[in-house]
Structure 1
C-alpha cells in the first residue's frame, strides 16, 4: 500500500484534499493507497517518526515550519519520497525544483491537477527496474537512478546517481528500448541522458546531477531544453 501524508493548517483545505482523494480512489479502485491528514507540523513530524510514508502533500505556509522546511527534512533521509507542494502563488517554484517535487498545486486545488498528482504518486510507487549483466553478475537497477549511458566501442557504461557504474555489452538501441521511458533522450549515437537528471542546461552543454558535462549537438538546444522543462516536475 502507498501511504500518503498531507499537512496543512487549514482544515478546509484538508477536508478538500480528503474529498479529492476519496473521489480519485472511487474512480480508480485498483489504487492501493491511504492518506493521513495533519493540521500542524508538530503532529506531522511526530507521526513521521513512528511510521513511513511514501508521499507527502505539503502546504508551503503552515505554522512554525514551512512546507519547504518539512521537505528539506524529508529529503535528508528519503530521496525517493514523492513530494507535492500546495500554495497560493508561484513564488516557490525554484524551491520545488531544488527539492525534486513531483507536483506544485495551486489553491484552490483543481480536481484534474490533483488527479495528475495522484498519478505521479502511483507511478513512483510502481518503480521500474532495468536488468543488466556485467562481469559481476546480474543487477536490477531502478530506472530513475540512471543518469546517463555512454558508448565505449562495443560496451556501454551505465552511470547511476549513487556513483555506481555498469559496463555492459549491448547496443544503444536495445538499451533505449529496455529503459522504456520517454525521459531518456538519445543525445548522440554514443550518449543517452536522463532528462530528469539534468541540473543545468545552456546553449552549449548540459550538466548532469553528478557534475558531468556533455556538449549539445549543433541546433539541438531548443528541443532538449523544451523536453528538460517538460520533465522537470515529473
Structure 2
C-alpha cells in the first residue's frame, strides 16, 4: 500500500513499465518459437513446445512451467475475487441499498464458484483461443492507459476525455479485430494506444475540467492513503 499520492504515482508508472517489459518478453518468446518451429500449427502450443525442445534445459523448462502455473493460479484467484466484489458491491449493493455487509459477503461467496464453473465450462470447449484472447485483452487494456496516467499526472484531463478515450478506443480495437486486425500493417494494440491518447487529450482540451471534483479526488486519495499508512504503521 503506497504511503502517499506521490508513491501511488510512482507505483502506477512502475506497473506500466513492468507491463511493457512483460509484453516485450512475451513477444520475443513468441518470435523465438516461430523461428524454431515455423511449422507450428497453433500459437497456443508455442510455449509448451519451446520448453519441451532441446533449446531449453529440462531443469529450466520445469522451473518456468511451475512459475507459469503459479502465476496462472494467482491471476485466476485475483480475477474471481475482483469479479465477486464487483457483483456484490457495485451491483447487488446498488440494487438493494440497505443491504448489510454480511449479505454482500454471502453474495460474493456465491459468485466465486459460479464464475469458476463458467470458466471451467468455457475451457472445456477447447476453442484454441488463448493467444487470440491474450492479444485482444492487451489491445483493449491500452484504452485505459492515457486516462489512468492523466488522472494522476494531468489536471487538465476531464471525465469526458477519459470516457470518450476508453469507449472510443475499445470500439476502434473491436472494429480492427472484426476487419482483420491490421491497419497500415500495424496491429490493434499499437493503434489503440495512439487513438486513446489522441482522444483523451483532444476531448479534454475541448471540454472544461471540474476543478472542485479534481481537488476532491486528490484530497480523498491523500486522506485514504494517510489512513492506510497509520493502520500499517508507516
Same fold, judged at TM 0.5 (above): no
- The structure carrying a bigger helix percent of its residues is 2
Please identify which structure carries the higher strand content.
1
The structure whose RCO (Cα within 8 Å, separation 6+) is larger is: 2
Taking structure 1 as the reference length, the TM-score comes to 0.26
Q: TM-score, normalised by structure 2?
A: 0.26
